[in-house]
Structure 1
Amino acid sequence: MLDERFREGEGAGQEGTRGGTTALGHPRGDLLLLLIGFPVVGLALGLALPRLARWASGSPVLPWRDTVEFVGGLDALWQTGLVMAAGLAAGAVLAFMALAEDLTLELTDTEVRIKRGDEPRTFERTDVSAVFIDGKELVLLDADSGELVRGGHAPRAAALAGAFRAHGYPWRDGDPYASLFHRWIPGTPDLPAEVHALLAARKAALKRDAGQDARDLTGMARGLGYVVRDEGKDQYWRALVTRA
């Protein structure tokens, strides 16, 4: 099959070819920024950290003073090297974590394969009723307006739009059901008690940065007939809309 790649500097504005496979991954510039930039920043922070700690230790009001003074005392060459190595490693870990959270896609005329980390999923084109970008997230809706997929996307928005349109998917400029969402207010009579409980648990999961738990709770709300999304720190909900 033909493999059309939408990458920065490699046809990012072109359209895919009907009948082939379009692979959508991280643009080259983003890969360089993540895989090189993050470790370099970590290395630089590791170099600067003991000096910053020595400067901060002069403050009369300083939390964790013992820890700050300990870091400030790491002035031997081998100690500085260890701190820089730790910063480099931390930057590399953050880079790979960021890569794992973004969606990568493969499109054909009949299906879309989406992968986030080690979580691949495949959907038939006929099951997709709308595709759009909501903020920084790519969203695919099913026939009942429920969300098949929502997540941060690696490719540029223009590359996504061109690829989905080229393969015949219903790309939209925005959420066709945006006007139906309501901000979640605990206890509102518009929602059943079990949905309130799910949204309360989801809010707690988001507060502790438990992304997978939040996604699982979103799926449970979908099973009860509701779509959930976030705007800032607020949760918004709407009922499913079944097409006639």
Structure 2
Amino acid sequence: MTRTSSTSTVVATARGWRVLGWLLCPVLGAALCWGLKLAAGWVTTLAWFPFQGPFRLVASIPEPAATFGALGLGAVAGLVLAFLGDLDLLSLDVGPDGVALTRAGETQRFDRGAVGAVFFDGGKLVLLGTRGDELARESTDLGKQRVRAAFEQHGYPWHADGDPYRENYRLWVEGTPELSDRANALLRARQEALAKDRGDEVKELRRELVKAGVFVREEKKRQYWRTAPG
């Protein structure tokens, strides 16, 4: 969804897709749990199959309680998944005076004069400051053409070729001498968080690195770093 007013352009996931998610997730969750309930009796006949205890427990629940319970549990799990997915969606409010990025009820605001470059790095929207410092790096499924059009409409410096400082990034290795002990420690912790898919920790450590003047991106769970030019 793209909505333009006299002062700004809002880019967000279309309401129809969000409603579809809220409808489909409970249905799919209920269907999955019902399928597992149906399979439980068969699994208990397979002596080689591990974790027999939970399947025997499910198979022992009398009907219709087993069916209603499976459907209800699956629907609730689907609703929780839909809520978390909806909460994680990114929306943009781009205007001539500044831009706001909102996710999970938290908003980052940047004045127009502070933004020196905007581009996509893979599936992430990146805003750089006028001195090459990184202001924001947010993953998003928003249509790239819609996002680009919103920024260009309000005169932001859109870089279609990607990061103008891409060649400045270097592969991080343990104990990189050009970095401080604190930066190396943060990168070490972030590498471990990446390996274990701890997304929230990865984001928090990136924010701490930005405070230390180090900007990081990853490819296939390998970290690349740079500092602001000069």
TM-score (norm 2): 0.89
Partner of 1:12: none
Structure 1 unpaired stretches of 5+:
8-15
Equivalent of residue 133 in structure 2, options 126, 146, 151: 146
Partner of 2:39: 52
Deviation for aligned residue 1:75? 5.3
Q: What is the 5 A alignment of 1:25-36?
A: 25-36=12-23
Equivalent of residue 100 in structure 1, options 87, 108, 114: 87
Equivalent of residue 205 in structure 2, options 206, 214, 217: 217
Q: What per-residue deviation string (whole Å, max 9, x for no partner) do you get for residues 21-51 of structure 1?
A: 2111112453244222222211110211112
Partner of 1:203: 191
SS in 2 for 1:49: helix
Partner of 1:129: 116
Q: What per-residue deviation string (whole Å, max 9, x for no partner) do you get for residues 128-180 of structure 1?
A: 11111111111111123222111222531111011111011111121222222
Partner of 1:177: 165
Identity among equivalent positions (%) equals 34
Partner of 1:119: 106
Partner of 2:67: 80
The answer as to whether partners of 2:96 and 2:154 remain within 8 angstroms in 1 is: yes
Which sits farther off after the overlay, 123-132 or 62-71?
62-71
Q: RMSD in angstroms over aligned alpha carbons?
A: 2.1
Give the distance between the partners of 1:65 and 1:197, measured in 2 at CA: 44
Name which structure has the greater RCO, CA cutoff 8 Å, separation 6+: 1
The answer as to whether partners of 2:58 and 2:66 remain within 8 angstroms in 1 is: no
The answer as to whether partners of 1:181 and 1:238 remain within 8 angstroms in 2 is: yes
Give the distance between the partners of 1:169 and 1:74, measured in 2 at CA: 61
Deviation for aligned residue 1:63? 2.6
Give the distance between the partners of 1:30 and 1:232, measured in 2 at CA: 29
Give the distance between the partners of 1:123 and 1:206, measured in 2 at CA: 28
